[in-house]
Structure 1
Amino acid sequence: MLELGVGMFGDLQIDPTTGQIQSAQQRLQEIIEEVKLMDEVGLDFFGMGEHHREDYAVASPEIILAAAASVTKNIKLGSAVSVISSTDPVKLYKDFATVDLISAGRAEIMAGRGSFIESFPVFGYDLKDYNELFEEKLDLLLKLRSNPTINWTGKFRKSLINQDIFPRHTENGLPIWIAVGGTTSSVIRAAKLGLPVMFAIIGGAWEQFEPLFEMYKQAYEDNGHTMSKFQVGVHMHSFFGDDSISIADSYYPTYAAQMNRIGSSRGWPSYQRSQYDFGRSNIGHLVVGDANQAIDKILAVQEKFGLTRFSAHMDVGSPDHKDMMRSIEIFGTKIAPKVREATK
């Protein structure tokens, strides 16, 4: 059965007239309410992103997940993503092992490079070491998960010699996913290690990712991993409402404003309504509309790629809390039951 859940980055609302940014305190409290509702409507997982910018509320996903663990019962709680290149893997493992204990085995780590680079100067890392940092820290993180006592030597931190690592995660194993965009080397690395992959499809036509899915599956099999444990997912910008046209029109200014804020620092042209409308089409990367539209697109993507997980990135631009709650409710009560019935 396909797992269905929500990913968030903790975007803060920005007043389009004054430029005033919503307080992080308010948004964090809203996020906890939203995750509580996800659990109540039966969604399978929640992922929280890591950012170190004024316009995002969450720098430490594990703290939000620990708070969410106290108000939920069943939903899996993971990062989306943890920027492991600029993180100490020992501290990261210990923090997520703690969340795993608090939540009775519901914690996950999604490791990735992140879409921004602010964490590197914040934590004292050099961007020239971008690739080496990721490879070394992923290696250490995987060894920490496997061994309560570790011996390890790397380039970017002191060696660990017969070092005991506590606390330990639960018997559920603390799953570690790898988040990738379109980088072939990242796909091959994850496949060799037998790690599940989450593909971020956040632009263009979703079918253009087919070669990467095929590459991942082939490399996974070629490296001797059993297909019974094969897991692959997509992360797609999503928002749901009761009426397709109304939700598309009301969400567009929020979504476009965020695309333009990000694009201004990356040299992108101004975001256009035509891009948004293409994204909402059957072949586009956006899952924005009513329940029936969402069901059709999720099932089409699942059938094409053999998905085991679909993540709806639902807070791009930080829609109003009440609209977020309605979107979550529609996802859990109208979309998820039909998708599960079709994919069981």
Structure 2
Amino acid sequence: MSAPAPFEIGIFTFGELTRDAAGKPIDALARTRDILEWARVADQAGLDVFGVGEHHREDFAVSSPAVVLAAAAAQTQQIRLTSTVTVLSSADPVRVFEDFATLDLVSGGRAEITAGRGAYLESFPLFGQRLERYDEYFEDRLGLLLQIRDENPVTWNGTTRPALTDAGVWPRPAQAALPVWLAVGGTPASAARAGRLGLPLYLAILGTPARFAPLAGLYRKSAGQAGRGPGRIGVTSHFYVEETSQGARNTFFPHYSQYIGQNMPRTGRLDRAAFEDWAGPRGALFAGSPAEVVEKILWEHEVLGHTRFLAQVGLGGLSQAATLRSIELLATEVLPAVRAALGR
């Protein structure tokens, strides 16, 4: 029997442009340069995965993950490169596959796709799509993406784009099969779909991590009912680490409160008591010392059985120096401790 794969840890970003106290957003040019430096440092420090997500809003710098990841590929050596996420509902699966197959060639076989429906809806009117077909778009286009991955040429007929007949889709990736993960925010049907399809799953943890345990169980049950082996589960969480717990929380609180206020208006800006609760031992926010982060990852692993953890970094206008130090600590203090504890 082969040894289990090592527990993987990485970072990701949406390239958010949180406004400062004067209401001025971070400059998109500066943020893009920051993001590429995060990728270089993560790669050099030994992290496993680097991801960028997709938004089509003025307060985010990244609308094309494949382009940013290709730039990161040219400046890194080992780290895997993934979208977090590709909004497949409003994208052409043929173009998505071509872009990420090209990224795979550029990076020497390090590309992955994370497909999702997206937490925001701005891409639907932008690309001329109707919101009432939200689920239909994703189901239809995910099926085509997976068929393109597994077959070439491809013959396909669906409801959301023109049919394909014996169509070649090029180039093909360096990897034998381009990895496709599904991102789930809390919908049972989405977790069950990933299990039935045999796709690895990301759980975007907000709120209480323990409430996602039934989704992980449903995912594994659905895979078993479909005759598939247990797939991989990844967890994504908001993150900041410093050498001491109090230092991390004092540094991060004003930035994170600003971030939540801007991106989750129904929640509003966090007060300090709510922040401390979210960052507590059973909360979803990772903000503390390396030892605290290790302990929380291991607890979540007991609850969810995940084998990949992606930390969302650079939130709320946090300084570049602080963000880079946090990335380095994640790689040099957290990752080896988690692997040692899990015997991997």
TM range (shorter): over 0.9
User: 2:177 and 2:322 mapped to 1: Cα distance?
Assistant: 35
SS of structure 2 residue aligned to 1:169: coil
Residue 128 of structure 1 deviates from its aligned partner by 0.9
Match of residue 183 from structure 2: 179
User: 2:160 and 2:325 mapped to 1: Cα distance?
Assistant: 46
Match of 2:223 among 220, 225, 245: 220
User: 1:278 and 1:289 mapped to 2: Cα distance?
Assistant: 12
Checking the alignment, whether the CA contact within 8 Å between 2:18 and 2:262 is kept in structure 1 is: no
Q: State the one-letter code of the partner of 1:287.
A: F
Structure 1 residues 253-292: aligned runs within 5 Å: 253-264=254-265, 267-292=266-291
Match of residue 54 from structure 1: 58
| TM, length-normalised to structure 1 | 0.96
Q: State the one-letter code of the partner of 2:261.
A: N
1:320 aligns with 2:319: yes
Sort the Cα spacing of 1:148 and 1:318 in 2 relative to 1 into closer, same or farther, 3 A. farther
Q: Which runs of 5+ in 2 are unaligned?
A: 1-5
Checking the alignment, whether the CA contact within 8 Å between 1:105 and 1:172 is kept in structure 2 is: no
User: 2:40 and 2:93 mapped to 1: Cα distance?
Assistant: 28
Match of 1:15 among 20, 24, 32: 20
Q: State the one-letter code of the partner of 1:237.
A: H
Residue 108 of structure 1 deviates from its aligned partner by 0.2
User: 1:299 and 1:116 mapped to 2: Cα distance?
Assistant: 31
SS of structure 1 residue aligned to 2:240: strand
Match of residue 247 from structure 2: 246
Match of residue 4 from structure 1: 9
User: 1:315 and 1:147 mapped to 2: Cα distance?
Assistant: 39
- 1:49-87 CA deviation, whole Å, 9 max, x = no partner? 001111110000000100000011110000000000001
Checking the alignment, whether the CA contact within 8 Å between 1:239 and 1:287 is kept in structure 2 is: yes
Match of residue 211 from structure 1: 214
Match of residue 106 from structure 1: 110
User: 2:329 and 2:18 mapped to 1: Cα distance?
Assistant: 22
| Deviation beyond 4 Å, 4+ runs, structure 1 | none
Sort the Cα spacing of 1:277 and 1:78 in 2 relative to 1 into closer, same or farther, 3 A. same
Residue 270 of structure 1 deviates from its aligned partner by 4.3
Checking the alignment, whether the CA contact within 8 Å between 1:5 and 1:310 is kept in structure 2 is: yes
Match of residue 237 from structure 2: 236
Structure 1, 217-226 or 178-187: larger mean CA deviation: 217-226
Q: Aligned residues: percent identity? A: 40
The CA RMSD measured in Å over matched residues stands at 1.1
- 1:183-206 CA deviation, whole Å, 9 max, x = no partner? 011011111000000001122x21
Aligned residues: 338
Residue 272 of structure 1 deviates from its aligned partner by 2.5
Residue 48 of structure 1 deviates from its aligned partner by 0.6
- 1:251-299 CA deviation, whole Å, 9 max, x = no partner? 11111111111233xx335432222111111110011111111111111
Match of residue 78 from structure 2: 74
Match of residue 334 from structure 1: 333
Structure 1, 280-289 or 300-309: larger mean CA deviation: 300-309
Structure 1 residues 284-303: aligned runs within 5 Å: 284-303=283-302
1:309 aligns with 2:308: yes
SS of structure 2 residue aligned to 1:5: strand
User: 1:275 and 1:233 mapped to 2: Cα distance?
Assistant: 26
Q: Which runs of 5+ in 1 are unaligned?
A: none
Checking the alignment, whether the CA contact within 8 Å between 2:81 and 2:111 is kept in structure 1 is: yes
Checking the alignment, whether the CA contact within 8 Å between 1:9 and 1:316 is kept in structure 2 is: no
Structure 1 residues 143-182: aligned runs within 5 Å: 143-182=147-186
Residue 340 of structure 1 deviates from its aligned partner by 1.1
- 1:311-340 CA deviation, whole Å, 9 max, x = no partner? 111233231111110000000111111111
| TM, length-normalised to structure 2 | 0.96
SS of structure 2 residue aligned to 1:317: helix
SS of structure 2 residue aligned to 1:297: helix
